[in-house]
Structure formats: structure tokens, C-alpha cells
Amino acid sequence: MVGKVLENRSETFGFDAQTENYVDLVEAGIIDPAKVVRAALQDAASVAGLLVTTEAMVAELPKDKPATPGMPGGSMDY
């Protein structure tokens, strides 16, 4: 889809998802307000940031601790 749009030199050429055709978007009456595009980019950046942080994990390296000594021998003489 991107390749097809880039092949055409017109800045207003694009894909009409409703009719599933490539058209001149301005002639077809399809205009994206800047506010909609900005909101879409902000949402995409937010989701991308969330994905980046969920793939990261903070962990501590295990510390070498000596083995716990065994229990003392049991005796009935207490």
C-alpha cells in the first residue's frame, strides 16, 4: 500500500479505505484535520512507549549466600 502511494507523485494521492480504491483524496473529499493526525501520532507514541517499557525488566543479581547450617541433632535429654 505504501509503495503504491509513493509511486504516484501527487501529494494528495492515497487509499480510500471505504471504497478500497486508490484515489486523489482531496477530489474524493477525504481530508484529515491536523488535530486528528496529531492525536493519532500522540496515541501511537504512547503505545510505543508502553511496549518499550514492558519489554524491560529491572532485576537484582543474586547474592552469594553461604548455605544455611543444618539443624542440630535431636536428643530426648532436654
Q: Which of 21-30, 40-49, 60-69 has the lowest mean pLDDT?
A: 60-69
What does the pLDDT read at residue 55? 66
pLDDT band at 39 (very low <50, low <70, confident <90, very high): very high
Q: Does 73 map to a domain?
A: no
What does the pLDDT read at residue 42? 95
Q: Does 44 map to a domain?
A: yes
Q: Kindly report the pTM of this predicted structure.
A: 0.39
Q: Does 61 map to a domain?
A: no
Q: Does 21 map to a domain?
A: yes
Q: Does 15 map to a domain?
A: yes
Q: Give me the chain's average pLDDT, please.
A: 82
Domain that holds residue 15: 2-54
**φ and ψ at residue 29, rounded to 5 degrees:** 85, 20
Q: Report the b/e string of 50-66 with b at 16+ CB within 10 A.
A: eeeeeeeeeeeeeeeee
Domain total in the chain: 1
